[in-house]
Structure 1
Amino acid sequence: DPSEKMSVTTTPCPSFGRGTPRIAGRLLRRVRDFAVVGGEAKISLKMAQHALARLGVDDSGLDKNDHRYLEALVRRFGGGPVGLGTLAASTGESEDTLEDMVEPYLLQLGYIQRTPRGRVATPLAMKAFGQTAAQGAA
Protein backbone atom coordinates (compact mmCIF):
# COMPACT_ATOMS: atom_id res chain seq x y z
CA ASP A 1 0.00 0.00 0.00
CA PRO A 2 1.76 3.22 -1.14
CA SER A 3 0.04 5.35 1.48
CA GLU A 4 1.83 3.47 4.27
CA LYS A 5 5.23 4.64 2.94
CA MET A 6 4.24 8.25 2.47
CA SER A 7 5.96 10.93 4.51
CA VAL A 8 5.06 14.50 5.27
CA THR A 9 7.81 16.96 4.28
CA THR A 10 6.46 19.92 6.23
CA THR A 11 4.79 20.62 9.53
CA PRO A 12 1.07 21.01 8.84
CA CYS A 13 -0.58 24.22 9.96
CA PRO A 14 -2.42 23.48 13.23
CA SER A 15 -5.40 25.60 12.17
CA PHE A 16 -6.26 23.10 9.42
CA GLY A 17 -7.47 20.69 12.08
CA ARG A 18 -9.25 23.34 14.16
CA GLY A 19 -7.11 22.26 17.12
CA THR A 20 -8.92 18.90 17.14
CA PRO A 21 -6.80 15.78 16.53
CA ARG A 22 -9.74 13.88 15.00
CA ILE A 23 -10.37 16.60 12.41
CA ALA A 24 -6.65 17.02 11.71
CA GLY A 25 -6.33 13.27 11.17
CA ARG A 26 -9.31 13.21 8.81
CA LEU A 27 -7.90 16.10 6.77
CA LEU A 28 -4.44 14.52 6.68
CA ARG A 29 -5.94 11.29 5.34
CA ARG A 30 -7.78 13.26 2.64
CA VAL A 31 -4.56 15.11 1.72
CA ARG A 32 -2.76 11.76 1.60
CA ASP A 33 -5.44 10.47 -0.78
CA PHE A 34 -4.83 13.43 -3.08
CA ALA A 35 -1.09 12.70 -3.01
CA VAL A 36 -1.57 8.99 -3.75
CA VAL A 37 -3.91 9.72 -6.67
CA GLY A 38 -1.38 12.27 -7.96
CA GLY A 39 1.46 9.73 -7.73
CA GLU A 40 3.34 11.69 -5.07
CA ALA A 41 5.61 9.87 -2.60
CA LYS A 42 5.66 12.76 -0.14
CA ILE A 43 3.17 15.35 1.01
CA SER A 44 4.76 18.73 0.43
CA LEU A 45 3.38 22.03 1.68
CA LYS A 46 2.31 22.87 -1.87
CA MET A 47 0.49 19.53 -2.23
CA ALA A 48 -1.22 19.96 1.15
CA GLN A 49 -2.34 23.51 0.30
CA HIS A 50 -3.68 22.37 -3.07
CA ALA A 51 -5.57 19.44 -1.55
CA LEU A 52 -7.02 21.55 1.26
CA ALA A 53 -8.12 24.21 -1.23
CA ARG A 54 -9.87 21.51 -3.28
CA LEU A 55 -11.53 20.31 -0.06
CA GLY A 56 -12.76 23.85 0.62
CA VAL A 57 -10.48 24.57 3.60
CA ASP A 58 -8.75 27.96 3.57
CA ASP A 59 -5.48 29.05 5.23
CA SER A 60 -7.31 29.84 8.48
CA GLY A 61 -8.84 26.38 8.62
CA LEU A 62 -12.29 27.69 7.70
CA ASP A 63 -14.37 25.31 5.61
CA LYS A 64 -17.39 25.80 3.35
CA ASN A 65 -19.84 25.73 6.27
CA ASP A 66 -17.86 28.44 8.10
CA HIS A 67 -17.79 30.60 4.98
CA ARG A 68 -21.51 30.14 4.37
CA TYR A 69 -22.24 31.14 7.99
CA LEU A 70 -19.99 34.21 7.89
CA GLU A 71 -21.26 35.31 4.48
CA ALA A 72 -24.83 35.14 5.76
CA LEU A 73 -23.99 37.01 8.96
CA VAL A 74 -21.87 39.71 7.29
CA ARG A 75 -23.42 40.15 3.85
CA ARG A 76 -27.08 39.27 4.32
CA PHE A 77 -27.53 40.57 7.85
CA GLY A 78 -24.98 43.40 7.94
CA GLY A 79 -22.94 41.81 10.72
CA GLY A 80 -25.89 41.24 13.04
CA PRO A 81 -27.21 40.89 15.56
CA VAL A 82 -29.15 37.98 14.11
CA GLY A 83 -30.78 35.00 15.80
CA LEU A 84 -29.52 31.45 15.50
CA GLY A 85 -32.77 30.28 13.90
CA THR A 86 -32.51 32.92 11.20
CA LEU A 87 -28.89 31.97 10.48
CA ALA A 88 -29.86 28.29 10.34
CA ALA A 89 -32.62 29.01 7.83
CA SER A 90 -30.31 31.23 5.79
CA THR A 91 -27.47 28.69 5.61
CA GLY A 92 -29.56 25.55 5.26
CA GLU A 93 -28.00 24.01 8.37
CA SER A 94 -29.72 23.00 11.59
CA GLU A 95 -29.37 25.17 14.68
CA ASP A 96 -27.61 22.27 16.43
CA THR A 97 -25.04 21.96 13.63
CA LEU A 98 -24.30 25.68 13.71
CA GLU A 99 -24.09 25.79 17.50
CA ASP A 100 -22.04 22.60 17.93
CA MET A 101 -19.90 22.41 14.78
CA VAL A 102 -19.53 25.86 13.22
CA GLU A 103 -19.72 28.48 15.95
CA PRO A 104 -17.12 27.12 18.41
CA TYR A 105 -14.26 27.55 15.93
CA LEU A 106 -15.51 30.96 14.77
CA LEU A 107 -15.71 32.06 18.41
CA GLN A 108 -12.21 30.72 19.05
CA LEU A 109 -10.82 32.68 16.08
CA GLY A 110 -12.63 35.84 17.17
CA TYR A 111 -14.92 36.09 14.12
CA ILE A 112 -18.22 36.11 16.00
CA GLN A 113 -19.74 36.97 19.36
CA ARG A 114 -22.85 35.52 20.96
CA THR A 115 -24.90 38.28 22.54
CA PRO A 116 -28.36 38.32 24.18
CA ARG A 117 -29.67 39.94 20.96
CA GLY A 118 -28.11 37.34 18.65
CA ARG A 119 -24.91 36.55 16.77
CA VAL A 120 -22.69 39.48 15.83
CA ALA A 121 -19.74 39.55 13.43
CA THR A 122 -16.59 41.07 14.93
CA PRO A 123 -14.53 43.69 13.08
CA LEU A 124 -12.15 40.84 12.17
CA ALA A 125 -14.96 39.00 10.36
CA MET A 126 -16.17 42.19 8.71
CA LYS A 127 -12.65 42.87 7.42
CA ALA A 128 -12.17 39.29 6.23
CA PHE A 129 -15.39 39.47 4.24
CA GLY A 130 -14.68 42.85 2.70
CA GLN A 131 -16.76 45.21 4.81
CA THR A 132 -16.06 47.64 7.59
CA ALA A 133 -18.32 47.67 10.61
CA ALA A 134 -19.84 50.95 9.35
CA GLN A 135 -20.61 49.41 5.92
CA GLY A 136 -22.21 46.40 7.57
CA ALA A 137 -24.47 48.57 9.72
CA ALA A 138 -25.67 50.63 6.74
Structure 2
Amino acid sequence: MPVTEPLHATAMTPPAVSGQNENAAVDSSVRITVSLSPLGKELSLTSQQASKIERDKDIDDSSLPDGIKEILKRIRDLKEQIQQKLMELQRIQANDTLSEAQKKQELERVQAELTSLNGALSSAHAMLNKVMDDIELGGEARMEVGDLLMK
Protein backbone atom coordinates (compact mmCIF):
# COMPACT_ATOMS: atom_id res chain seq x y z
CA MET A 1 0.00 0.00 0.00
CA PRO A 2 1.61 3.33 -1.02
CA VAL A 3 2.21 6.01 1.54
CA THR A 4 0.31 9.16 0.66
CA GLU A 5 1.14 11.25 3.69
CA PRO A 6 4.63 12.29 4.72
CA LEU A 7 6.07 10.66 7.78
CA HIS A 8 7.10 13.02 10.56
CA ALA A 9 9.92 12.10 12.88
CA THR A 10 9.13 12.58 16.54
CA ALA A 11 11.35 12.21 19.51
CA MET A 12 10.92 8.79 21.02
CA THR A 13 12.18 7.43 24.26
CA PRO A 14 13.17 3.79 24.12
CA PRO A 15 11.13 1.56 26.40
CA ALA A 16 12.66 0.79 29.75
CA VAL A 17 14.12 -2.66 30.10
CA SER A 18 12.97 -4.49 33.21
CA GLY A 19 15.40 -3.96 36.03
CA GLN A 20 16.80 -0.81 34.41
CA ASN A 21 16.39 2.50 36.13
CA GLU A 22 16.48 5.87 34.38
CA ASN A 23 20.00 6.67 35.58
CA ALA A 24 21.54 3.39 34.42
CA ALA A 25 24.23 3.46 31.75
CA VAL A 26 23.38 2.23 28.28
CA ASP A 27 25.14 -0.99 27.29
CA SER A 28 27.30 0.03 24.34
CA SER A 29 28.11 -3.59 23.47
CA VAL A 30 24.64 -4.09 22.01
CA ARG A 31 24.80 -3.85 18.24
CA ILE A 32 22.02 -3.49 15.76
CA THR A 33 22.58 -4.87 12.28
CA VAL A 34 20.63 -3.66 9.27
CA SER A 35 20.70 -5.53 5.98
CA LEU A 36 19.66 -3.87 2.75
CA SER A 37 18.06 -5.69 -0.13
CA PRO A 38 19.80 -5.44 -3.52
CA LEU A 39 17.26 -2.79 -4.51
CA GLY A 40 17.92 -0.87 -1.29
CA LYS A 41 21.66 -0.99 -1.94
CA GLU A 42 21.17 0.27 -5.46
CA LEU A 43 19.00 3.13 -4.26
CA SER A 44 21.55 4.07 -1.61
CA LEU A 45 24.26 4.87 -4.16
CA THR A 46 25.29 8.48 -3.97
CA SER A 47 25.31 10.55 -7.10
CA GLN A 48 29.11 10.43 -7.04
CA GLN A 49 29.09 6.64 -6.98
CA ALA A 50 26.48 6.55 -9.72
CA SER A 51 28.51 8.88 -11.91
CA LYS A 52 31.61 6.77 -11.30
CA ILE A 53 29.73 3.66 -12.40
CA GLU A 54 28.57 5.51 -15.51
CA ARG A 55 32.11 6.83 -16.08
CA ASP A 56 33.53 3.30 -16.01
CA LYS A 57 30.75 1.65 -18.03
CA ASP A 58 32.97 1.47 -21.12
CA ILE A 59 35.62 -0.38 -19.12
CA ASP A 60 33.06 -2.79 -17.65
CA ASP A 61 31.58 -3.42 -21.10
CA SER A 62 34.97 -4.19 -22.64
CA SER A 63 36.14 -7.72 -23.35
CA LEU A 64 39.26 -7.26 -21.22
CA PRO A 65 40.10 -9.49 -18.24
CA ASP A 66 38.75 -8.30 -14.86
CA GLY A 67 42.22 -7.59 -13.45
CA ILE A 68 42.98 -5.18 -16.27
CA LYS A 69 39.56 -3.56 -15.88
CA GLU A 70 40.27 -2.86 -12.21
CA ILE A 71 43.66 -1.32 -12.98
CA LEU A 72 42.09 0.88 -15.67
CA LYS A 73 39.48 2.08 -13.18
CA ARG A 74 42.20 2.81 -10.63
CA ILE A 75 44.12 4.83 -13.23
CA ARG A 76 40.98 6.86 -13.96
CA ASP A 77 40.48 7.48 -10.24
CA LEU A 78 44.06 8.68 -9.87
CA LYS A 79 43.80 10.96 -12.91
CA GLU A 80 40.60 12.45 -11.48
CA GLN A 81 42.24 13.02 -8.09
CA ILE A 82 45.22 14.69 -9.80
CA GLN A 83 42.87 17.03 -11.67
CA GLN A 84 41.16 17.93 -8.39
CA LYS A 85 44.52 18.70 -6.76
CA LEU A 86 45.56 20.87 -9.71
CA MET A 87 42.34 22.85 -9.34
CA GLU A 88 43.01 23.13 -5.60
CA LEU A 89 46.46 24.55 -6.39
CA GLN A 90 44.87 27.19 -8.60
CA ARG A 91 42.33 28.09 -5.89
CA ILE A 92 45.11 28.49 -3.33
CA GLN A 93 47.15 30.67 -5.65
CA ALA A 94 44.12 32.87 -6.36
CA ASN A 95 43.14 33.15 -2.68
CA ASP A 96 43.99 36.67 -1.53
CA THR A 97 42.81 36.08 2.03
CA LEU A 98 45.78 33.88 2.89
CA SER A 99 49.06 35.31 4.09
CA GLU A 100 52.15 34.47 2.02
CA ALA A 101 53.26 31.99 4.70
CA GLN A 102 49.83 30.29 4.76
CA LYS A 103 49.70 30.20 0.98
CA LYS A 104 53.18 28.68 0.81
CA GLN A 105 52.26 26.06 3.41
CA GLU A 106 49.03 25.11 1.58
CA LEU A 107 50.80 24.97 -1.78
CA GLU A 108 53.49 22.69 -0.36
CA ARG A 109 50.85 20.40 1.16
CA VAL A 110 48.95 20.06 -2.11
CA GLN A 111 52.17 19.63 -4.12
CA ALA A 112 53.18 16.79 -1.80
CA GLU A 113 49.80 15.16 -2.35
CA LEU A 114 50.23 15.61 -6.10
CA THR A 115 53.65 13.97 -5.96
CA SER A 116 52.15 11.01 -4.13
CA LEU A 117 49.27 10.71 -6.61
CA ASN A 118 51.64 10.90 -9.57
CA GLY A 119 53.76 8.14 -8.03
CA ALA A 120 50.66 5.99 -7.59
CA LEU A 121 49.67 6.68 -11.20
CA SER A 122 53.11 5.60 -12.42
CA SER A 123 52.87 2.43 -10.34
CA ALA A 124 49.42 1.67 -11.73
CA HIS A 125 50.69 2.09 -15.30
CA ALA A 126 53.64 -0.20 -14.54
CA MET A 127 51.30 -2.78 -13.02
CA LEU A 128 49.04 -2.58 -16.07
CA ASN A 129 51.99 -3.19 -18.41
CA LYS A 130 53.21 -6.10 -16.28
CA VAL A 131 49.78 -7.75 -16.19
CA MET A 132 49.34 -7.31 -19.95
CA ASP A 133 52.79 -8.90 -20.51
CA ASP A 134 52.15 -11.70 -18.00
CA ILE A 135 48.91 -12.78 -19.64
CA GLU A 136 50.34 -12.13 -23.10
CA LEU A 137 47.54 -9.76 -24.06
CA GLY A 138 47.15 -9.59 -27.85
CA GLY A 139 47.53 -6.54 -30.07
CA GLU A 140 43.81 -5.85 -30.49
CA ALA A 141 43.21 -6.02 -26.74
CA ARG A 142 46.21 -3.75 -26.13
CA MET A 143 44.68 -1.24 -28.54
CA GLU A 144 41.44 -1.44 -26.54
CA VAL A 145 43.41 -0.74 -23.36
CA GLY A 146 45.05 2.24 -25.05
CA ASP A 147 41.70 3.59 -26.17
CA LEU A 148 40.28 3.28 -22.66
CA LEU A 149 43.33 5.01 -21.19
CA MET A 150 42.81 7.96 -23.52
CA LYS A 151 39.25 8.61 -22.30
Please tell me the TM-score bracket, short chain as reference: under 0.3
Of Structure 1 and Structure 2, the greater strand share is in 1
- The structure carrying a bigger helix percent of its residues is 2
Structure having greater relative contact order (Cα 8 Å, sep ≥ 6)? 2
Larger radius of gyration: 2
TM-score, normalised by the number of residues in structure 1: 0.24
